[in-house]
Structure 1
Amino acid sequence: MSAHIYQMPKNAMQSGKARVQTWVLEFEPTEAKRADPLMGWAGSGDTMQQLRLTFPSIDAAKAYAERVGIAYHVTLPAPKTLKIQAYADNFR
């Protein structure tokens, strides 16, 4: 059983920074999804895919994974770059 730890990305529809500092631990799928013959919905018998644990910091997420004995890998967020421009630059 392995897990993926990453930081919540900012929603494209929000301008604030709410829930951006939250770190998420999600379990990797252990079996492939298959289509249900009656409804056609995709599903599997792996119930660990339904879990999504949130932590206030990356250290807390790592400590939990190590305490429970879960192998994990961390994806760090890309560095943010600001493109500074002025309104007057539109008329140059």
Structure 2
Amino acid sequence: MSARIYQRPKNAMQSGKALLDQWVLEFVPAEAKKADPLMGWSGSGDTQQQVVLRFPTSEDAKAYAERYGIEAEVHSTPPRRLKIQAYADNFR
């Protein structure tokens, strides 16, 4: 069983910073999804894909993975770069 640990990204429709400090542990899919022949929906028999665990810090997520023998890969969050621009700059 392997998993990835990452910090929640900001949604494109989100202006605030709520829930951005959470760290998520998601399991890597064990098998590929396949289309259902009757309905055409995609799915698989892997139930670990449905499990998403949230932690307050990355250290807590790493400790959980080590405690239960889960091989976890931590993806660090890239630094945020703000482009500060005034409204008047649109008319230069």
Q: Which residue of 1 aligns with 2:85?
A: 85
Distance 2:67 2:22 in 1: 20
Q: How does 1:21-32 map to 2 (within 5 A)?
A: 21-32=21-32
What secondary structure is seen at the aligned counterpart in 2 of 1:6?
A: strand
RMSD of aligned Cα (Å): 1.1
Distance apart, 1:37 and its partner CA: 1.3
| Alpha-carbon distance in structure 2 between the residues aligned to 1:83 and 1:23 | 26
Q: Can you list the C-alpha shifts for 1:37-81, whole angstroms capped at 9, x where unaligned?
A: 111111111100010000011000000000000001011111101
Q: Which residue of 1 aligns with 2:4?
A: 4
Q: Which residue does the alignment assign to 2:40?
A: 40
Structure 2 gap segments, 5+ residues each: none
Tell me how far apart the structure 1 counterparts of residues 35 and 11 of structure 2 sit (CA, whole Å). Answer: 30
TM-score by length of 2: 0.92
Instruction: Kindly report structure 1 stretches of 4+ aligned residues shifted beyond 6 Å.
Output: none
Cα deviation for residue 8 of structure 1 reads 0.4
20-29 vs 78-87, which moves further:
78-87
1:62 maps to: 62
